Structure 1
Amino acid sequence: MHFSRRIEHCPMCGTRVEHRIPDDDNRERAVCPSCAHIQYVNPLNVVGTLPVWGDQVLLCRRNIEPRKGYWTLPAGFMELGETCEEGARRETDEEAGARIEMQGLYCVMDVVSAGQVHFFYRARLLDTDFNPGPETIEAKLFSEADIPWQELAFRTVKLTLERFFADRSTGQFGVHCADIR
């Protein structure tokens, strides 16, 4: 399976790479015929939160592609130099301008076709003053009955919300894992 992040040139010397299985490996890699550097392409981490205020959850309407205009949990790509939790907190601030208290890892989902792993943390909103950044059209609280299910941007968001409302009904919150294929 090839992803959109396919390497064409060596990041070390700029030579056009060959795609082949290196010795002592079992997967096709980008191998430089000039300097022998092997470039590995690994999944990207998407980190975010499921912010809660009373019986409502915070969703953000996307102002960027993909899925511009659709609703999502505040999340985005983890940056180098930060933990998953730090990235989730940063993304919540950048996308929703929301102040939160982290409450622990909630969902881990492998999105194999996109080469991503999504991590969502439960979070308690400290107030309802939101200041969305440029990637967000609006940030809004929704009760379970009012979630715009047909307008959710991503399957991972839908699954996270479904699991949250099921867990909330029992009062038991665990860590959920899923493979999205």
Structure 2
Amino acid sequence: MRFCSECGSDKVQMIMPYGDIGLRHICQNCGAIHYSRHSMVAGCVATHEGRILLCQRAIDPYRGMWTIPAGYVETGETLQEAAIRETYEEAGATATHLRLLTVYNLPMFSEVYVLFSADLKTPQLMAGEESLEVKLVYPEEIDWSSLAFPMVREALRHWVAPAGCSSVDVADFLWGPEGGVRVRHHDRMGKDGPE
């Protein structure tokens, strides 16, 4: 951070405030403390009569690979509104009856993915600007090697698991120095609390 967003000063330093546990950007002119924030991503494992909506990416990264509709939450949106919007933008589909499915932490990228299971109002689909193609597939038809992101693979694995739709999967995605991804699952939360 080069300039304070409160007063515009260029006198911003990384300092650990008294009583805090981490370094923060602090303006030496006005005293404003600037905290880093996580970006929120929302999306859906959206289905119609047992078939799952998949979108083939038209953009990098992972152009040509398959994913579920998801994207960044806009200012003023709820998580559910963002998931519904992304489903419409990427697949021309209307998601309804959203239910929390997963919460995935990506600390390396300062992102949190909140994914819902949802019903599609109709099976009619139309690829949006960010999708080359959209389709509905049965779980056994999923080509797991063609999925774009580890979070998508985990969310779909959780959804197809016998108790998937009745529990919430909470996990951390940790990237190692060699580039590999390790998934650390927390206790799965069922409808009545921890399982």
User: Do both proteins adopt the same fold according to a TM-score greater than 0.5, normalized to the shorter chain?
Assistant: yes
The answer on whether the counterparts of 1:8 and 1:30 sit within 8 Å (CA) in structure 2 is no
User: Given that residues 72 and 154 in structure 1 are in contact (C-alpha distance below 8 angstroms), is that contact kept between their aligned partners in structure 2?
Assistant: yes
Q: What is the aligned partner in structure 1 of residue 183 from structure 2?
A: none
1:133 counterpart residue number: 128
Matching residue's letter, 1:108:
V
Task: Tell me how far apart the structure 2 counterparts of residues 171 and 31 of structure 1 sit (CA, whole Å).
Answer: 44
Further displaced range: 38-47 or 96-105: 96-105
Report % sequence identity: 35
Cα deviations by residue, 1:56-102 (Å, 9 ceiling, x for unpaired): 11011112222222211100011121111111111111111111212
Gaps of 5+ in 2: 175-195
Query: In structure 1, which of residues 71, 85, 89 is the aligned counterpart of residue 84 of structure 2?
Result: 89
The count of aligned residue pairs is 173
The letter for the 2-side match of 1:93 is: Y
The residue that corresponds to 2:53 in the other structure is 58
- The two structures have a TM-score, normalised by structure 1, of 0.88
Q: Secondary structure at the match of 1:109?
A: strand
Q: Which residue of 2 aligns with 1:13?
A: 7
Which protein, 1 or 2, shows the higher relative CO under an 8 Å CA cutoff with sep ≥ 6? 1
What TM-score does the superposition give when structure 2 sets the normalisation length?
0.82
| Counterpart amino acid of residue 173 in structure 2 | I
Distance 1:31 1:157, change over 3 A: same
Moved more, 7-16 or 55-64: 7-16
User: Structure 1 residue 173 and structure 2 residue 135: aligned?
Assistant: no
Structure 1 CA distance for aligned equivalents of residues 81 and 165 of structure 2: 25
RMSD in angstroms over aligned alpha carbons?
A: 1.7
Structure with greater strand percent: 2
Counterpart contact for 2:44–2:117, Cα < 8 Å? yes
Structure 1 residues 120 and 172, CA, compared in 2 at 3 Å: closer, same or farther?
closer
Q: Name the amino acid aligned to 1:43.
A: H
Q: How does 1:64-143 map to 2 (within 5 A)?
A: 64-143=59-138
Unpaired stretches in structure 1, ≥5 consecutive residues = 1-6
